Every structure is written in C-alpha cells, then in structure tokens.
Structure 1
Amino acid sequence: MSADRLEALYAEPLPADRTGALYNAFSYPTKISAESVALFVACHTNPGDHVLDVFGGSGTTGIAALLCERPTERMVQLAAKRGLEPVWGARNATVYELSEIGTLLARVMTHAPEPAAFRAAAKRLVDAAEKLEPSLYSAVSPSGDAGTVRQIIWSDVVACPRCGAETTYAVTRVRYKPLRFDDRFTCVCGHTGSPDDWVRVLESVRDPWTGKTTKRRRRVPWKVYGKSSTGNWSREAEAVDSAAEAGSLERPLPGCAPIRELKWGDLHRSGYHQGMTHLHHLYTARNFRALATLWQLIEDEPEELREALRLLVLSYNAAHSTLMTRVVLKKNSSDFVVTGAQSGVMYVSGLPVEKNVFVGVRRKITTFAAAFELLHGLSGQAEIVTGSSANLHLADESVDYVFTDPPFGAYIPYSEINQLNELWLGQTTQTEDEAIVSPAQGKGVSEYQALLTSVFYEVSRVMKPTADATLVFHSSQAAVWRALEASLSDAGLAVTAASILDKTQASFKQVNGHVAVSGDPLLRVSKRLPSAKLPPPAATMDELVRVARSSHSSAAPATTRQQHHNYSELIGRALVDGVPITMDARAVYQIQGLA
C-alpha cells in the first residue's frame, strides 16, 4: 500500500473491538480483536505475504492473517471508514509465544476444527460429566423443590475486634433497599466501626487431596442462586450447602486432577492468599471436581477435537471457575451482578463466587462454534511456536510485516497468572526468557530491556528491507518507555508513526493503577528512517507537554477518557520525533493540571 494510504491507517485510533465470537472465545489479558489487527495486516501486506508476531499472546496476529482471506463485515467497515482499499486474500503467519496456554489457543484458532463436529463433541462432553456427577450442583429451592445451583456467593468469616463474636463479612457490609456496601457495622456487643477492622477468622484444615494441614481464611456459603422447574430463585445459604462442599472434598478425584503446587511470585498477597499453596485451593472443592471430571472425559473424544475441547474448558476456567470470581454493584440494581475474575491480577474478594462449571462451559460452546465457523477451512498457513523469539528459526529478510504486543514492563506477570490454566495442561511457562520487570524473578528494567533487545534484533534480521512492524505498548513509567526505545534503537529499528489503540473499556490495572493511562500507543516501526523527516517541534519532553497543554486549553473541555489518552499521545510524538522520554504520566498530568 502507498505511503499516504499507510499514513491514513495511523491517522486515527484503532478500536480494540473487544467483542464478538473471536474475542469472547477466550479471555486473555489486554487482548485485541483479531478483526482490528487484520486491518493493519491487510494494509501492510499483499496476499501470500508472511506475517510475524514475536510476542504471540493469544495468537491474534495469526488469526488476523488468516482472516484476510475471508474478511468479516466488521473488517470491511473498518477499512471503508478510513478510505482504505486493502487487497483481501490469504496471508501466512508465524507466531512465537512462551506460554503453553497462549500457543494452545493460537493452535486451535488457526487450525479450527469443523464447527458441527466440535459442537456435537462439546455437548457430549458436558452431558457425560453431568451424568457422572448428577448431584454435584443439586440444591433445594426456597419452596422445597429440587433444583440446580447457578451460583453461590461465599463470604469470609470475621470476628468483632472488641468481643470476638463471629459473623460473616457479608453481614457487616451488605445492605439492601437500596443495595449497597456499608462502611459501618455495629456488633451485638455495641462496638461500631468499619467492617475492614473486623478480623478475618482463620481455620486449620486437613486437605485430603494433599494430606497436609493448612491454615486459611474461613469461608462459608452466604447466598445461593438456583433454578428449578418453576424458574430461577435465590435464598440464604443453609447447613446443607456447606455439607455439599464438604462431601465434594471427601470423595476421591479423577486421576487427571492436577494436585500441583502454585509458584507464587509478584501477585501473592499474604492476606487473601493465606493457605493457598496448591492449584485446587483457588477453587471450591465442587468446582475443582467438575473441571477434573470434564478434563478426564476429553480423552474419550476424537483426537482431532481434544485440543479444542481443552481450550473450551480452560476458556471458562480462569475467568469464572475460581474463587477469584466476584460480585459487583450496579446502580439501581436490586441484587448483585456476578462477573468474572479481574484481568491481570489474582485477587480473591471477601465475597467470592462459585459458578456452576457445567452450565458455564455449556454456554461457551455456541461462542466457540461461531468462532470456528469464521476460521475453519481457510487456506493460509499459520505456524505456532512455543518458545523464545530471541532465536527465530526464520531466514534473513523473509518477513513482510510484524504485528506484536510486547509485555508492558511489570504490567502483568503473565507466567504467574497462566498457572491457572497451564497446571491443567501439565506444563507451565518457562520464565527465563520472559521479558518482564519482576522482583520475584529478579528482573529489573535493565534485564527487561536486554530481553526486548534480543527479540528486536531478531525482528530486524528477518524483516525485509521495506517491511514495517506495528507495536502496541503501554506504560505510565518513563523508564519502561526508555527501555523500549533503546531496545528498538539498538536493533536498528525506528518509530516512524504513532497512533492509539482505543480500548473502550480500560483494564482493571489501567483504572486502579497509580496513574490512569488509557489508549495504548500503537507504533509503526521500520528498518529505515523516513526520507524526509521534519525537525522535532520540541527539544525536550517538557516542551512537548507544554505545547500540548496550550492546544488543549484552547479546545473544548476533554472527557476523562480523553484526558487519560494524553500521556499515550505524547509518548507517540516523542518516539516519532526522537525526543527523550523523561517524564512519567503523573508528572505530565501535574503540568497539565489533571493530577
């Protein structure tokens, strides 16, 4: 595509488009829609070209390359909106990824099974699991009818700091009419204070699955949501609900159940993770049993469908099956809204949720089948490699385009989070070559930069002289941006244009981090410098910030979301103009009066 057309491609933000079957088939942190990535692939390449991703994540670039053969309506709309006319047709891709779960996802999606065969096998799988465990999620309705659990809200047990009387965290915090969390509670002894001052009650329990005794926070079922022949219902938990959990723990597990130790690192918290030494401690016994039952039954299905079925089960696992599943309050709602785990962390709240795994996996079947209908039968070739991209097997100057999404410094410790799925697979991520800032791994910014540099050297080596790369990156810290900038420069690469990946819904860490930054910079990178490059408009980042502040003050008031784009936009300008990055987001916002 001509240079002016490529300029149009980077002239406005790229929507993350984190919706639809291709995205929802698997929950993966910071993932971008394959349809959005496909627009960049199609505009930078021609049919038959070779596309590379060196930080493959969930395999989005490989999926995008294949989709160019059969563009979706959304892809056509994205191109038309920008006045772009890419030549659609099959591309080929190579995707490198360190994680076992990432490459499983990439393999399945780029070699999609026949949708009808998958759908039949998946329904057969869940049916067989429910037949083996017919009473696993049994529950009685408020009227005494037999029913099935939809979800259970559990609660930590807490004790009054004055008299030691025990109650539940839910009782101290939750109020109805209207539904809200209260920040004051009065004990039977008369003591009044913040519920956060109530002490979490600990218990010593013998774990029959490890044979060891552990001390952990005591949790009890608080509210049960179910379904009977008369419809959905909810009620307060009863003794029988606690007995059902105890019964699930006492029975032997399927032989495939991974009773494996967790390798805690930067995400471990001594409070809510107390006593959680093994994978199954992150689940209720019932949910762990349900997953193990499904996992074992996969072996009875045709070999060509097993990886897709494993992915189906794991797609529900980390986001919805563990004690990290949560409730949230929504305005004017009469009851809690149940949601999944927070992306990028391993937080366990005082009100964790146990969802019915069989019901959840069954619901996922339709989403996966829809994704496979888009991807099955495409003619492009995608090679998925589990390993470090610091040593690519590709020939010199053999790649036409690179689209990649490197780890953002210390932003998300992927290997630690990936354990939730990879321990089921029997192989966890090898962390030696993981490009990350991690105190637990002994990696600071300099180690992170060195790992990035080794990868970008390889990228530069395999890129054709006229090829481009597109990088998505995010950080609120100047030191991390300098590490990226230096690693690109050392590898002989230069940033030639910048845009924004516009995420309509910011991640948990973007919203709750030290400084809110949204709109990840999207960088065009080349092996060559532009033939005609204007001198930078400012010699320092401080001058860039002040120029931007002046332009913003004369414009209409910006929304909060637009304000949080400011730092990303400034970083893009600095990288293109060669301005040293010397300021964190906090410093920029202070100058602009946004902090």
Structure 2
Amino acid sequence: MSKKTYNSGEPSLGLELEEETATEQKGPVTVLGLTFSNDDERREYFRAELRRKLPELRNIEGFPIGEDDDIIALSDPPYYTACPNPWLNDFIAEWEAEKKDLEAKGLRKTDFEVTEPYSADVSEGKNNPVYTAHTYHTKVPHPAIMRYILHYTQPGDIIFDGFCGTGMTGVAAQACAKSNNEWHSKIESEFVNSVGHKPKWGKRHAICGDLSPYASMISNNYNSPTDISLLKSETQRIMNELKDECGWMYTTLHDNKPIGCINYMVWSDVAICQNCGKEFIYWDSAMSKEKEGLLDNFECPYCKCSHTKATAKRSFQTVYDDVIDDVVNVIKHVPVVMVYTVKGKHIEREPLAYDIDLLKKIDQHPIDTKYIPIQLLPEGYNTEQPKKTQGYFYVHQFYTRRNLIALSILFKKIYESKYPSKLMFLFTAMIGRSTKMQRVHINNYFHGGGGWNAGNLKGTLYIPPFPVETSVLEQIGDKLRLLLKAEPYLPHSFDNVIQVASALKQNMYTNSVDYIFTDPPFGANINYSELNSLPEAWLRVTTNNETEVIENSAQGKSPAFYHNEMQKCFSEYYRILKPGRWMTVEFSNTKASVWNFIQSAITSVGFIIANVASLDKKQGSYKSVTTTTAVKQDLIISCFKPSEKLLAHFENMRQSDDNQNIFVSTQSFIEELLTRLPVIIVNEKKTTAVVERSPKILYDRLIAFFVQNGRQIPMDASEFQRFLRDTFVERDGMFFTAEQAIKYDDLRRQIPEMVSLALFVGSEADGVQWLKRELVDKPQTYQDLQPKWMQDLVAPKKGDAIPELMQILEENFLKNEDSQWYIPDAENEADLEKVRTRRLLREFKTYVEAAEKPKGRIKEARLEALRTGFKNCYQEKDFATIVRVGDRIPQSLLTEDDVLLQYYDIATNRI
C-alpha cells in the first residue's frame, strides 16, 4: 500500500490555556450548617457519615451493585453519592430558607405563578462545548432545558430530574444565573418575541438522580467546580509517566528507525471460504480501491469462489487469556492499516514485520489484573451480539492487549492521584473510544477529511469487521482540551445534588420541589444498563437493573412492565412536586404504543397535560440520520399538578354527592385547565390552534382527573359540550375563559393567518384522513410526519389497535425516490386498496382462528380489519363467522362502532 501524508500539528494537552476560572475552595467551607477548613476535610467527614449510613441505604430500591469502599471512593458527599443521597431533605430545607433572603432582596416573588405552558417549539444543536465534553447514549442540550427552567421557575427554585443521565438539567439550572454568552442573548431574544418580556435570570438548584453509577459520575463532574490548575498539573504528570511506561507499545519504524507515535491501527476479521476452507483477510478481499468502498460481492483469493458478507464465515481461534486464567475461543483479527505521526505529519501504511513483532511482544507483556475490569457481561439483548459473533463474554475482551495494558496503568495512576474525580471524567470519556467497537469511516478513508474513526454504533455493543484501535496516549490531550473548553460554562460552586437512585422512590418529603424536567427511557429504545456495563466495570460500581424502566425481552420486561413502572415513576413525581407546579417530559420514540403509555401514565397519577410541542436537537443519532423510520425531533409534554384549591374542591366533593357540588368541581377543574393552556401558539408568523382547547381533549382530561380521584364521570360527552358552551367562550372550535377570549381576539387580528385545529387520530380511518390532509400540498418524509402524528394521536376506542404510522403509510400511500410519501392518483389508489384489503383479510383470519378456540377471547383487534372481514363474510353469506368473532371481541368495540354492529345484527338474524 502506498503512503499517504496529512498535515497536522503535534498533539498537545492544551496546557497552554492560561485562563484559571473558579476552583474548589482552599479556605473554610460551610455546608449544611457545618464548617470545614477545606473541601478535603469536608469530603472526609461526609464520607465517614455516608459509610455509617450505607447499611440502611442498601435497603432502598435501586441501590447499585458494589462494595462499600468503591461506592465511598466514587462519591463526593454530601453533594454527590454513588447511592441514594441521605441529605436531600437537608439541602431542600436550606434552599427553602435561602428563598426568603432572595424575596427580601426583590429577586423572587412570593406569589409567583405560571399560568401557561412554554408552548414554543425549541431548536437547539448538540455542537456546544458542554455537550461534546463527554459522550452518552442520549442527552438534551442544556440551553434547550434552560428555556423551560426560565419559564416555569424563578431564582432559588428547586428542580428535580429523576432520569438525569449526564446531569444537563443541573447544568441548565446553574446556567440560568446571568452571564454574558451567546445562549443568554439568544434566549432573551426568544422570550421577548414570544412572551413579551425578558426571562428572570438567577441561579436555581437541582436534584439529579439516575439509576446508573456511570451516568451519575458524569453528572457529578458536569455539576461540580473544577480546579483547573490541579487538573492540568496532574494530567501532565500522568501523561509523562504513561509515555515513559507505555510509549514503546505505540512506536513503529519510520525510515528504518523506531520512531513516531501510532495514532490508530485498523484491524480486520479473518474469514473462512466455505468452498475451499482456507482463511483470507476480509479487508484485503472486500475493500476496493477502484470502487472506493466495500464490495457487496467479493472473491476468495484462493479458489475465486464468490462471497458476500453473510456467506463469508468468520474465523475463530483458541487462545489463552491470562486475565481470567482460562482458554477462550474468540474471533480472529489481524492488523491491516496503521497511521502514525512524525514531525506533525500523519502517515498511513500497512503494518511492517516490526509492527507484527511488537504486537507479539505486547501479547507476552504482563498485565496488572488489579486495575482492569474482570467482569462478565450481563445477560441481555445488546450483550448477546458480542457473545454470539465474537466470543466475547468479558468486558476486558473489548480492548486490544495494547490498549488494555495502557488503560490499566492509566487507571491505577488516576485512582492514586490527587484529583481522581475529574481525571476519572477524562478516563471514562476515553475508554469507549479505546474499544474494538470503533468503526472505519469508509468515505473519509478514501477521500480524506474528518478522520477515519466513525465511533461506535450508538445504542449497541456491536464490534465491526474492521475495528479501529485508537491510541490511548493520543486521546488524553483531546479529552482535556474538550473539558477545558466546557469549563467556563459549567458550575463554579457546589449548588446541585447528585445521586444514584431509582426514580421509583425518592427520599424526599411530599410537595418539596418546584419544577420537574425529565427525559425518561422510552420503551425499548436504549438498554442503558447493558450498554453501561463496560464503563461501570471500570468504576467498580454497576447498575442494579432489576427496576430499570425499559422494555427488554431478555430481562423479561414486557411493554406492560414498562407501562406499570413508568406509572410508578410519575406517581412519585406527583408526590414530591408542589401543587400548582409544572413538569416537562421529553419524549423520543417512534412507537405510538409507547407514546400512549407515557400519556396514560402521566394522567393516571393525577397530572394534567396542557401542551405538546417539539424539540429539535438538530444533529440526530446515527439511526435518525441513516434511516427513514427514525425521527430527528423529540416531543415535549407540559403538564401540571392541580392547585391546592382544586384539590380542596374534590375533597369537598368526596363528602357529598350533591349535584351542585359536582358541577362546581367540574367547573373548577375546566377553569383551572383553561387558564393553564396557551391562548394562542405563533410559529413562523402563523397562528396555530391549541388542540388542548378542543371539546374532545378537554373531556378526556376531565375523565382522567375524575377517575384518578375516585369519582364517577359527572356527565357524558354531549352534556359536557353543552356545559362548555353555557359556561365558557367558544372561538374557532376552542374554548376560553372570558378574559382569555378577549386576548385571543386581539392576537387573531394581529396575525390573521390561522392553522386550523388538528384532526385527531383516534382510529385508523382518522389516521388516513389526517395523512391526506398533511400530504395534500406536498409530499413529506416519515421523519417530517412522525412528530406531528404523535402530537395529534389520541386514545382509540377500547379494544381497537391503531397500526403504526409506517404501516398506514405503506398500505394507503406511495413513496417517491426521495423517500417522501404522497397521495396516489385514482388508478394507483385502487390498486393500493386491493393490496390493503388482502392484508386486512389476512389479519381478520387470525381473529377467526382465535374465535374458533373453545375459550378464545380477542382482547384487542384492528378495527379496520374487523370491518373488512365482516364485509367479506357478509358478501359470502358467512353469517356464522361474523357472530362468532363478534361474540369474542371486546363488546365496547362492537357496540360503539356502527359498521360492525350493523353487520353483526344482520348476521344474528340470518343464522
């Protein structure tokens, strides 16, 4: 292979940066009423207290898996505990006392109230210094969260996030203190344009918890001050020592001299030809210079037999693993390309004999097993892939021998350093990029630019056929520079509290927090505990995933489990949130069933949903960028806990069934709901109708609230609509209080162009009509349609199963070459209808088979399939099947659908 050269400067640790911002306090520090000479003394005292409390804390649901010493070493109490934090209520009491001082200074109001949700759509990219300082599976950019905090809270308020991930809610809370940066200017401008005034700047406090010790460790580092001077000196010292001890492993020959520093090495699977049985290197056979990419079909170099990636069987080898002192059978990899640096230039070439001999020497080099993670992969969905395809059952097998040795030495030095917390932040930012999961960026390999390392495939433990081994030595400086760039935007004092805890149970008093922002797991999107098993093995404290709120068949966690656990989480949120205060739920999932689960869980515990808006994080995940079924926009649910006044009304109603009392409670509920809905939504100089003000949604909210409070529904839908018209003011199909109606009329005159009320999707037929309306002006992609679809989706009739959006699109619409869906012309529509009818009849056949069983019950069915099946049976005079199926489906579905009931009544009279 010919050499390629790239101009590049020598790697630098970035230690030339002179700005020294806030550091840990060197003088006296006071926390929770206790004064210490410095933070080291504070830390020592509270670690001793935490150790004393650990036996009791271990009984709390979600307590992590780990030894006491490791939990204590990872913690920085009382601000951060790698277990449930026993000082939460003490902090809350202290912060509540601080509020009185802020009120005395005129920095906050005693009668502060938020009557409308933040309804504007938010667009905020991920490419900011804070976001990129440390990777994680999911993360909401903190400037996006700032908008919600500034709207729903005032300085001194207490914010909670029970699924905090990397702690961006905490970062956002402290970033609300006034400072001069581009985010503040942008947010101020948005607020002035949307609500007519500037936000109330000032620091808020946050309590951030997560089930994952890895996530909470990152969160702690994002939310605690950094001693830059100490960080730089310790990083420089460790870097120098690491080069002295490990530099020999990353050298190569240049001009026949052992010089240079290896940046990364590409390895390749070894394949076995199923025709001749010989081994060949997958890279050499499948990678084409002429085609500038990977070939779909390639030949065995020995017998010329044609292969694809699927037919070329991977070669395994049996080797002795001295880490576990056992023989293992693992995938066979060989080095094929390496890149190293000499005098500021990156040079690419094939490995030489010197490089191969060096790898053999490294294989024989001893390793200190005390400082590497000797841990089996947990049972799970994601962990099965490396077990089956690679023979990897242990965490350490995800690293090359070279990187494993270097990481073990680096880990030991960090563990024994003067600043282990921040250095561990750098270390965990490196270990993912040091695994064999890193992929070759094929396009950049052939065309240059942007680097070869495409990173790992997000949301998986996938090891590609061409793993990229990235030098541990090269990464340290990069990670330090990223943290130094983020540091000016991060908290410069300990003002937030971080813990490892389950969202199902919080050690906090009832009605103790002012606002909740939360980004919970959504169904089976991401198996956090499985993916975190690699970094947590290094931390020596791992997730207790027994109550992890996800769908995971390998863990026996069904959709019903997910729904029930989310309901428990929101019930706990409801308990700790003060009456009349708000919760914001960030949602990212393409499944309508999960969307319904979330909304159902929120309303069933007592929250009232006021608005659904979108959050565009711009740069999507790998899946959202490369697939047509993933979406780039998340949804934001705004809901509130009823006020004390409304809850008192219901308490009075429990004492009496008087009709007048019930009417007053109904009126009080609707009035409070209307006052908390946006009067109007303006996007791109257009007035958008507020769907939550429609009679259907208002009635749904009323039903949910009455049922949650253990009361019978006060009136049916028609009575409720009469009640609305008699009590409130109607405008454009929406209802307002008298005061809101005046405001609405004024705003409508200013912005006359009106986007009409949405057509709600409560059935498959509604969905087809909704899509026709959306596509009538122009074709749209699934990614364009899905966020809007979710916002207009409402609960279907009991027993009706609405198909997913993609299925309805495929059965009723056509797609162009740009993956945009459009309405078919009459001829194509007829053909589509024939195909769709056949599919529906196949589905109806499964209902017939279920109904023929002696005790067969059909708990849920697709309404359109039933209609099509009944129609077909009617035409064929098969009345018995109509009756048999009709008797086995949910009776509410049969009796509430005019079409089904008509066929059923006719069939009953004919047999």
Mapped to 2, the partners of 1:437 and 1:120 lie a distance apart of 45
User: In the alignment, what sits opposite 1:191?
Assistant: 305
User: In the alignment, what sits opposite 2:786?
Assistant: 567
Please show how residues 491-530 of structure 1 align to structure 2 within 5 Å.
Answer: 491-511=605-625, 515-528=629-642, 530=673
Deviations 1:149-201 (A, max 9, x none): 10000000112221123221101211114521112222332323324322211
User: In the alignment, what sits opposite 1:375?
Assistant: 490
Please show how residues 211-226 of structure 1 align to structure 2 within 5 Å.
Answer: 211-226=325-340
In terms of mean alpha carbon deviation, does 66-75 or 161-170 score higher?
66-75
Please show how residues 379-394 of structure 1 align to structure 2 within 5 Å.
Answer: 381-394=495-508
Matched, 1:582 2:802: yes
Between Structure 1 and Structure 2, how many residues are aligned?
A: 585
User: In the alignment, what sits opposite 1:150?
Assistant: 263
User: In the alignment, what sits opposite 2:190?
Assistant: 81
User: In the alignment, what sits opposite 2:208?
Assistant: 95
In terms of mean alpha carbon deviation, does 545-554 or 459-468 score higher?
545-554
SS across alignment from 2:474: helix
SS across alignment from 1:196: coil
Q: CA-atom RMSD, angstroms?
A: 2.6
User: 2:576 corresponds to which letter in structure 1?
Assistant: V
Out of 420, 443, 454, which is 2:568 matched to? 454
Q: CA deviation at 1:247?
A: 2.7
Out of 156, 160, 171, which is 2:284 matched to? 171
- From the two aligned structures, give the one with the greater helix fraction: 2
Higher relative contact order (CA 8 A, sep 6+): 1
Deviations 1:316-358 (A, max 9, x none): 211x110000112227943572221121111111000000111
Please show how residues 128-527 of structure 1 align to structure 2 within 5 Å.
Answer: 128-141=241-254, 144=257, 146-187=259-300, 188-229=302-343, 231-254=345-368, 255-267=370-382, 268-269=384-385, 273-302=389-418, 305-318=419-432, 320-330=433-443, 333-334=446-447, 337-378=452-493, 381-511=495-625, 515-527=629-641
Q: 1:502 to 1:539 in 2, by over 3 A?
A: closer
In terms of mean alpha carbon deviation, does 388-397 or 47-56 score higher?
388-397
User: In the alignment, what sits opposite 2:674?
Assistant: 531
User: 1:355 corresponds to which letter in structure 2?
Assistant: T
- % of aligned pairs identical? 24
Mapped to 1, the partners of 2:460 and 2:312 lie a distance apart of 25
CA contact (8 A) 1:63 1:109 kept: yes
SS across alignment from 1:393: coil
Matched, 1:60 2:203: no
CA contact (8 A) 2:167 2:219 kept: yes
Out of 112, 116, 119, which is 2:229 matched to? 116
Q: CA deviation at 1:440?
A: 1.6
User: 1:215 corresponds to which letter in structure 2?
Assistant: N
In terms of mean alpha carbon deviation, does 75-84 or 23-32 score higher?
75-84
User: 1:282 corresponds to which letter in structure 2?
Assistant: F
Q: 1:514 to 1:17 in 2, by over 3 A?
A: closer
Mapped to 1, the partners of 2:464 and 2:378 lie a distance apart of 21
Deviations 1:100-157 (A, max 9, x none): 0111111111112123332332232222211222312111236656111100000001
CA contact (8 A) 1:62 1:110 kept: yes
CA contact (8 A) 2:761 2:793 kept: no
Mapped to 2, the partners of 1:163 and 1:74 lie a distance apart of 63
TM-score (normalizing by structure 2): 0.61
Deviations 1:195-246 (A, max 9, x none): 4322211111111111111111100001011112362201112343333333
Structure 1: give runs of 5+ residues left out of the alignment. Answer: none
Structure 2: give runs of 5+ residues left out of the alignment. Answer: 1-111, 643-671, 676-692, 697-758, 816-820, 822-911
Mapped to 1, the partners of 2:802 and 2:114 lie a distance apart of 31
Matched, 1:46 2:154: yes
User: 1:81 corresponds to which letter in structure 2?
Assistant: E
Q: 1:143 to 1:253 in 2, by over 3 A?
A: closer
Q: CA deviation at 1:377?
A: 2.0
User: 1:277 corresponds to which letter in structure 2?
Assistant: F
TM-score (normalizing by structure 1): 0.92
Q: CA deviation at 1:270?
A: 6.1
